[in-house]
Amino acid sequence: MDALSLPDFAPGLPAASVDASLRQALGVCDRARECAVLWFAELQRRALYRALGFASLEIYAVEGLGFSPNRYWQFKRLADDLDRLPVLREAVATGELGWTKAQQVARVATPATQAAWVAKAAVTGRRELAQEVRQLRRRKSGSGATTLFADPTPAPAEPLPVSITLRGDGLQVARFEALLEKAHKLGLVAAGTDRLDAVLAGLEALVDGAGGAGHAGPATQVIIHQCPDCGAAAAVTGRGELPLAPAQVAAAACDARVRTAGGANKATIPPKIRAAVLARDRHRCSAPGCRSTRFLEVHHVTPRVLGGSNKAENLTTLCGRCHRFAHEHLGELAPAQLAAGR
């Protein structure tokens, strides 16, 4: 990407000089935005925010970069387009297309048609391109499909995600997208919540509204079978037993009811203490930048394997996603550290 310099400001210049300087400054702004979005897309694609200590991309953007929620969603939408359309991403990175044209192409291009759209945009004026895109979008109609993934970017060593597909007509898809975007803007779903988690949060809210849950416990119960010898575990579902990642197993063991063969259920955290911790934390995730009120679990700040207790001062409220993230980082501790705490 070519380097552009800002013109030094000087008052009192003639109109032509002011116009030229303004155009130069605007060109630098456009290229800076393109560059920032490319880096943002790279960070999203490789999930590098996790290496920086953030459980989600949105928490990183808001807490780490100081973005407003609206600015985050603008960058997220642009980064998604670049990730979906690698030919377009390359055209932006090399300067073949400016950002204004690239945004128009992203509105209509698919992975199969992106090369043709990039070639067309390169020889078409901005206004003409925008008009053609608007006309094409007006003509588009019919049914659509939305695919929800439990985890679109799993770590290579983790179990593969299971796909859940919801099909709808054009109006249903439009409503889904509009409601999801508004829910994020109104703060009704937590930072970084993906589509499937948003749907699950809506279903949980319906169950809560029908009196299906109290504040001390979850709205539903998930059964997990764990091998006592190797420690591998799987969730019981209508599709059979689905394997869980180690961090999911550790988070579940942190706050669960455990039953051994022939024994009674035993809570890993006494129910009264658990309820007190949830009330103290105002039934919200305590992870910086999250504040989710759904899928809450209680986490040991100092792990029990390192001597942590079930006292309230060693417990904090986390949503399921942040809880798993915390245990992923715990898994990075050296084995000797964990062994020393046993």
In which residue ranges of the chain is pLDDT below 70?
A: 1-4, 140-163, 169-172, 189-193, 208-220, 331-342
- For residue range 83-141, list pLDDT tens digits in order: 888 999 898 888 888 878 888 888 888 888 899 999 999 999 888 998 888 888 777 64
Give me the half-sphere count of Cα atoms (radius 13 Å) on the Cβ side of residue 176: 17
63, 148, 206, 222, 224 from 288: Cα distances, Å: 7, 26, 27, 27, 29
Taking alpha carbons only, the member of 114, 67, 125 closest to residue 92 is 114
Give pLDDT, residue 145.
Answer: 42
Contact 162, 242 (CB under 8 A): yes
3-state helix, strand, coil in the chain (%, to 5): 50, 10, 35
Q: Where are the domains of the chain?
A: 15-141, 164-341
75, 135, 220, 321 from 290: Cα distances, Å: 19, 40, 22, 10
Contact 43, 111 (CB under 8 A): no
Give pLDDT, residue 220.
Answer: 65
pTM of the model: 0.57
Residue 34 in tokens: 């393109």
Based on the number of CB atoms within 10 Å of its own CB, is 95 exposed (0-12), middle (13-18) or buried (19 or more)? Answer: exposed
Spatial separation of the C-alpha atoms in residues 90 and 82, rounded to whole Å: 9
Give pLDDT, residue 211.
Answer: 59
